Amino acid sequence: MTRTAIVTGAARGIGAAIATRLAADGMAVAVLDLDESAGKTTVDAIETAGGTALAVGADVADEASVAAAVERVSAELGAPTVLVNNAGILRDNLLFKMTVDDWDAVMNVHLRGAFLMTRAVQQHMVAAKFGRVVNLSSTSALGNRGQANYSAAKAGMQGFTKTLAFELGKFGVTANAIAPGFIETEMTAATAARIGMDFDEFKRAAAAQIPVNRTGTPDDIAHTAAFLASEGAGFVSGQVIYVAGGPKD
């Protein structure tokens, strides 16, 4: 049967790679991002490869926007039973310079966003007695200088994931988190720009600290997400998988 998946923040980066991979695996994929038109590139790539996709504009941190998006996906693609909470932002700063807005913006997109999306989608999973929730955490969950807001949010994603696993397991729903290390995307490019470093130089410096001696790509994360979203992964739940080129915790 064709499953319907929603991938948030799927206009680019890791989300785009996950959406493309889930579509290649046979799912109908809702490419959700803040701006519907931004998702069109991912949708075009999926359709060109013979897959099914729909661009949906929504702010994951807004309750009404999430409800409307999930309703639209259900009507146009079918009831969603796979959810990848990937949308994310950075507002890095040292604690003494971090504003309340920096704190709230990060909490709202990552934690409130994952909560609202999962709460809206779980009814479809429970009705289908099947579901796969994949949440994007980060190695920053273990603590990272300049990221008090982001590391707290990404550690929160892990607790949220484990609680979903407990609550939804009996309905055939699994929940797992992926904690990526350094992945080459606009997010890490923006970090390099912020600290005034050339991106290639920034990547080389990061790779030197990674056991497999390279930085990660969005496809590295898409492979792991595809496994966790698959039918065969039904006995894997409540786990945090560090995809970081080496051990982390």
224 near ligand NAP (CB under 6 A):
no
Angle 160-38-189 from CA coordinates, rounded to 5°: 70
Tokens of 163: 């609680």
- The Cβ-side half-sphere exposure at 215, using a 13 Å CA radius, reads 17
Strands 131-136 and 4-8: unpaired
Using CB under 6 A as the binding rule, whether residue 30 contacts ligand NAP is answered as no
Q: Examine residue 68 and tell whether it contacts ligand NAP (CB under 6 A).
A: no
Question: Is the separation of the CB atoms in 169 and 130 below 8 Å?
Answer: no
Residue 180 makes contact with ligand NAP by CB under 6 A? yes
Is 102 one of the binding residues for ligand NAP (CB under 6 A)?
no
The rounded distance, in Å, linking the Cα atoms of 84 and 18 is 8
Determine, following the binding rule CB under 6 A, whether residue 185 of this chain makes contact with ligand NAP. yes
Q: Which of 103, 115, 130, 150 is catalytic?
A: 150
What is the per-residue DSSP string for 4-65? Answer: EEEEETTTSHHHHHHHHHHHHTT-EEEEEESSGGGGHHHHHHHHHTT-EEEEEE--TT-HHH
Q: Could you give the string, one character per residue 188-207, with x where binding to ligand NAP holds by CB under 6 A and - elsewhere? A: x-------------------
* Residue 220 sits in the site that holds ligand NAP (CB under 6 A): no
Q: Is 142 in the site for ligand NAP (CB under 6 A)?
A: no
**Interface with ligand NAP includes 158 (CB under 6 A)?**
no
> Quick one: which of 6, 11, 29, 134 contacts ligand NAP (CB under 6 A)?
11
Q: Is 150 a catalytic residue?
A: yes
Which range binds ligand NAP by CB under 6 A, 43-51, 76-84, 168-176, 177-185? 177-185
The binding site for ligand NAP (CB under 6 A) comprises: 8-9, 11-15, 33-35, 38, 59-61, 86-89, 109, 113, 136, 138, 180, 182-183, 185-188
